[in-house]
Amino acid sequence: MTTLNSEQQRAVNTTEGPVLIVAGAGAGKTGVITHRILNLIKKGVSPHSILAITFTNKAAKEMRERVYALIAQESSINRPISMNERPFMSTFHSLGVHIIRENAQLLGLTRHFTIFDRSDSRRAIKEAMTACSIDPKKVDPGTVLNMISRAKGDGHTRLEYLDAAKEFMQETVANVWEKYDSILAKEKSLDFDDLLSKTAQLLEKYPAVRKHYQNVWKYVHIDEYQDTNKVQYRIAKYLADASVSDPTTGEVTPVNNICVVGDADQNIYSWRGATIENILNFEKDYPTAAVITLEKNYRSTKTILAAANNVIERNVMRKKKTLYTDNDQGEKISLIVSYTENEEARAIADIARGLIARGSSPKEIAVLYRANFQSRALEEAFIKKNIPYQLVGVRFFERKEVKDVLSYVKAALNRESAGDIARIINVPVRGIGKVTVAKVISGKENELPAGTRAKVSQFWKLLDDIKKEIEEKKPSEAIKFIIQETGMERALHQGDAEDEERLLNIRELVTVAAQYDNYEDQTRDQTLEPETKVGPRVSPGIEAFLSNAALASDQDELTEDRDAVRLMTVHASKGLEFDHVFIAGLEQDLFPFKRMDEADIDKAGEEEERRLFYVAITRARKKVYFSYTMLRTIYGTQRVSLPSEFIDDIKKDLIEDQAPPERPSGAKALFIDF
């Protein structure tokens, strides 16, 4: 962004006190945040006094790159900005990792605590359920984990949750939670939700810690504020609630240099705890807040914005705004009507192939859908028509072989991480069975036969060697050492074609690690008082590598050099943009989505579904395609579909007249008894 419009300029220049920037889709909010940070530095604010938090690694990386580029280009900054003189820009979870590491002893942890990913948490939940005599086959561990996760995100402790329990299932979850927490503590580990709840606990329970970070970060920016949950809200408020006292009168004045950027119309994550009230109530929390609304869209055509405005204006829980643009009118929305989901997938693939043939880049085409199961038919169609595609949601860091290598790193740094040790002690095969693993984990290694003890001893020696390598070498060199010295490379090289692909994946991990070889922690030691700094530590690169691997999101899998059509859920598309966007499955009870056990969608759920549709439409720059089927097979049963009510929300002159679907070849007559 080379120039700023008047409202953007006002947002950049309003640097003191609380500020709410209501930024519509495509309104250039990232440019505003980055220019605001630059403006603070130009005014003389120390860069490391500035904090900027967003929700994905991809967004944080983009923000860092843009801020660094602006600083480098700004000739009026006549003093050098060193690596340690840069703003702290990260995700909420990465901020939590940083604060917890610097205060780990207060939580009974070391700074090399392990971060449980989803599969680690499921494993521990199953173990906790077994300890509580609950059969994981009768009670879904995923449901239990989700209930605990939601409670943590709402800021509840286990005891508070137990006290409020009204049903047997809630009491059961509270009991499992107790065992789950004990497993985490034993393994010196935290799960994703702990990274936030423990951070809030540190800031709340220890005034000196809270005051310290308030002194470090004097200007707080929170992006995507509408997506914050209750714990994230508390963290932001603790950090921003600084005050200054008059040396003469002693009068204390709140500072509250907090700038939040967001859009209630894009709140789509209530299912994971996001609270729309946080942004709607900002002016109540900070009565002196300046409110700036960004309504000019730089992304989409007038047609696309008109459709988006038609949709979202029906919602009540929002801050009123109307997006507008100076862009062209653009093409009307196309409506694709098909008999079945397979016909729909083929129709979408055919249009995508035509767009590519006419010069569109495949990566500028996205197919969005409400539920993951819809990807199956779409993938088949793209494969048959030989169209390059990328299914967003299959994460590199969740592949077994990649997790094995990462577990070697984590186990070498944290010998209490039983999950990682159990995962790799026999990878590759060393003749160490499950009984042996159980004895090792339970501290009964001395009961093993001499030959088995020797194998286990060799494993511990290997971890010692890896730890030394991690402490002394660059991250990429340490990963190479693990791949070679553990025997993983040799074992996979001797395997089949699938093993060859796994070998390529762990070699790719070396490439990923190399990005951290010259990593400098932008906040290393600057947030610590001199007397709290402790002895030798592993390189900041390996810490950042592990943290980012653990916190990777679906969008982090998107690489610009892969020219392929993107297939993803609407939720996964948040924050992205494409020239051409297909919205598949626009049928009643699918989008808007209604769960099987719901009699009807409540008002709050209906508004969130509409916000989700609004997000889908506003991903597009040039053209939107709506698609629905007359029949769809769900859970093995073919059902008659009705077009989504959302289509009727849009004025008819914005949508092209559609031709009736062609009867699929070989189709049988269908008789439906209404």
Catalytic residue among 29, 158, 346, 610: 29
Q: With b meaning 16 or more CB within 10 Å and e meaning fewer, what string describes 463-479? A: beebbebbeebbbbbbb
224 is known as an active-site residue: yes
Q: Which two tokens stand for residue 574?
A: 């948040």
d(CA 291, CA 578): 30
Peptide bond into 536 cis (omega under 30): no
* Alpha helix positions (H), 228-340: 230-240, 277-280, 282-285, 302-312
CA 317 to each of CA 23, 67, 230: distance values in angstroms, whole numbers, following the listed order? 16, 33, 18
Asked if 86 contacts 47 with a C-beta cutoff of 8 angstroms, the reply is yes
Exposed / middle / buried, residue 437 (Cβ in 10 Å: 0-12, 13-18, 19+): middle
Asked if 274 contacts 231 with a C-beta cutoff of 8 angstroms, the reply is no
Asked if 616 contacts 583 with a C-beta cutoff of 8 angstroms, the reply is yes
d(CA 617, CA 604): 20
CA 132 to each of CA 149, 175, 178, 257: distance values in angstroms, whole numbers, following the listed order? 19, 7, 10, 47
Catalytic residue among 34, 114, 266, 325: 266
266 is known as an active-site residue: yes
Q: With b meaning 16 or more CB within 10 Å and e meaning fewer, what string describes 448-458? A: beeebbebbee
329 is known as an active-site residue: no
Q: With b meaning 16 or more CB within 10 Å and e meaning fewer, what string describes 398-420? A: ebebbbbbbbbbbbbbbbbbbbb
Query: Which residues are CB-neighbours of 177 under 8 A, at least 6 positions away?
Result: 128, 148, 151, 158, 161
First to last CA, the chain: 56
Supply φ then ψ for residue 14, to 5 degrees: -85, 90
Q: Which two tokens stand for residue 315?
A: 């919602």
232 phi-psi bin (left φ>0, alpha ψ -120 to 50, beta other): alpha
Asked if 633 contacts 341 with a C-beta cutoff of 8 angstroms, the reply is yes
Asked if 566 contacts 390 with a C-beta cutoff of 8 angstroms, the reply is yes
* Alpha helix positions (H), 274-393: 277-280, 282-285, 302-312, 341-357, 375-384
Catalytic residue among 223, 285, 344, 401: 223
d(CA 612, CA 574): 9
DSSP 564-619: -EEEEEHHHHTT--EEEEEE---BTBBTTB--TT-SS--HHHHHHHHHHHHHHHTT
d(CA 573, CA 584): 14
Q: Which two tokens stand for residue 263?
A: 């859009």
Catalytic residue among 191, 224, 341, 401: 224
439 is known as an active-site residue: no
Catalytic residue among 8, 30, 486, 523: 30
Q: Which of 553, 616, 68, 10 is nearest to 304 (CA)?
A: 616
CA 29 to each of CA 32, 54, 265, 575: distance values in angstroms, whole numbers, following the listed order? 5, 12, 15, 11
Q: Which two tokens stand for residue 148?
A: 């605990």
How many Cα atoms occupy the beta-carbon half-sphere of 616 within 13 Å? 30
Active site (catalytic) residues: 29-30, 223-224, 266, 619
